[in-house]
Amino acid sequence: MTRLVKKAQKGNDKAFLKLFQQYEEDIYRMAYVYVKNKDDALDVVQEVAYQSFKKIDTLKKPEYFKTWLIKIAINCATNLVRVNNKVVLLKQEYDEFIGTEDEDIPLSITLQELINTLEEDEKSIVLLRFYHHHTFKEISELLEMPLGTTKTVLYRSLNKLRKGFKEGDICGQ
């Protein structure tokens, strides 16, 4: 195996491919533990193949090739999880509060319309805070925004929603 690693480090594509294929299943299993779905795990395997091929010359001890690959896999998987946590799929969130047939549908539609009036960062913060129950600190980290700014944007968003709610005469006022 050490000989194959050294060949791969010298640019032998076939040697690299043979090495990588030996550990592909291990990489997939490791990625799956982090990302928890088949498609993302396969994406991680592909990214590990690319990263390891590109950086194989940085591997100092050929006997640690598998460990090195697994470390790359963990980094790629955690990066993907981090990126996915930053993505707020608004349509799914709307489905959560649009409710069931037993609920007041006009009220739910109005809530959706009100949230649609918010800017993207305002929507994200409101949804993360009230529908996903994240703390201000978690939200500021997820959106890479200062903590004070996160609070300010939330309070501004809530004021917009209150104003829109009152203008829509939803409360019967």
For residues 5 and 65, is the Cβ–Cβ distance under 8 A? yes
Q: What is the mean predicted confidence (pLDDT) over 11-24? A: 92
Torsion, Cα of 152, 155, 159, 164 (10° steps) = 100
User: CA-to-CA distance for 103 and 100, rounded, in angstroms?
Assistant: 6
Please tell me whether residue 132 adopts helix, strand or coil conformation.
coil
Looking at residue 103, its pLDDT comes to: 45
Q: What is the mean predicted confidence (pLDDT) over 105-133? A: 70
Q: What is the mean predicted confidence (pLDDT) over 155-160? A: 90
CB atoms within 10 A of CB 72: 20
Q: Domain 90-167 carries which CATH code?
A: 1.10.10.10
Topology (CATH level 3) of domain 2-86: Rna Polymerase Sigma Factor; Chain: A (1.10.1740)
pLDDT (tens digit per residue) in 27-41: 898 888 778 889 999
Where would I find the beta strands (DSSP E) of 36-92?
none
Looking at residue 170, its pLDDT comes to: 46
Q: Inform me whether the pLDDT recorded for 135 exceeds 70.
A: yes
Q: Which of 30-34, 40-44, 106-110 has maximum average pLDDT?
A: 40-44
Dihedral of alpha carbons 109, 113, 118, 124, sign: positive
In the numeric block, which tokens belong to residue 75?
């980094």
Looking at residue 84, its pLDDT comes to: 77
Per-domain boundaries in the chain: 2-86, 90-167
